[in-house]
Amino acid sequence: MVSPLVTVNEFWRFYEHSEWRRVRADRLTKVGERIEADLGAVNLHDVGDAPASVTWFDAIAYCRHVEKETGLPVRLLQVEEWREVAPPPARDIVKDGWGDLTWVITGGDGRTGTDSKHRYPEACPEGGGWLRFGKDLTWSTNREGLPFLSVVDFGEWLGDYESGHAAAANAATGRALMTMELERDRCPAHLTIRYKGLKVGFRLCYVAQLDA
């Protein structure tokens, strides 16, 4: 069983009222514990039914929350499972995707500055802006009608994790978010990848018993 992408509204209801928010804040204060601080900068400027953008650790915390609430063994998809359920990659991608997301610089006086497709968002200071989806996003569906956001600036966290990095799949290319093979090219699990002008969401899955 595979869910649609978890939305901003769904994740934020969990985040606002769960123990995870406190645990997350504690991690920020500990030496050696790193996790991106500002989830609002990559979520709260989008509509509520847009896919949430989180760190891999946030996605795992949400899975554990749903598992506790439902009693189902909820988790992220593994690489091969994602390949099985994902639609065929698009064949007509000729641009690098920077029109899919918009980087907004916030001025020192607190007012929004130029709303632009910032080509080098990693050059902006940490916390110096926020990231939102553009107006025209491409969606595709698999054989069962499950929707996938098919733009090159968005990925899905998968369960494959090693040494602080996790796989993030891109439905537009069928490869890793960072464009190489999924097994080889992983993203830092403690980041949302906002600093590179990218968003990473997630969906839930569980294996149903055949006799259920």
- Give the count of beta carbons closer than 10 Å to the beta carbon of residue 210: 5
Mean pLDDT of all residues belonging to the chain: 83
Provide the token pair at 174. Answer: 């069928």
Answer yes or no: is pLDDT of 78 > 70. Answer: yes
Answer yes or no: is pLDDT of 123 > 80. Answer: no
- Cα–Cα distance, 114 to 98 (Å, whole number): 16
Q: Percentage of residues in the chain with pLDDT exceeding 90?
A: 56
pTM, rounded to two decimals: 0.85
pLDDT value at residue 104: 60
Compute φ and ψ for 41, nearest 5 degrees: -70, -15
pLDDT value at residue 72: 92
Answer yes or no: is pLDDT of 146 > 80. Answer: yes
Answer yes or no: is pLDDT of 121 > 90. Answer: no
> Which DSSP state fits 126?
T
- Cα–Cα distance, 94 to 41 (Å, whole number): 29
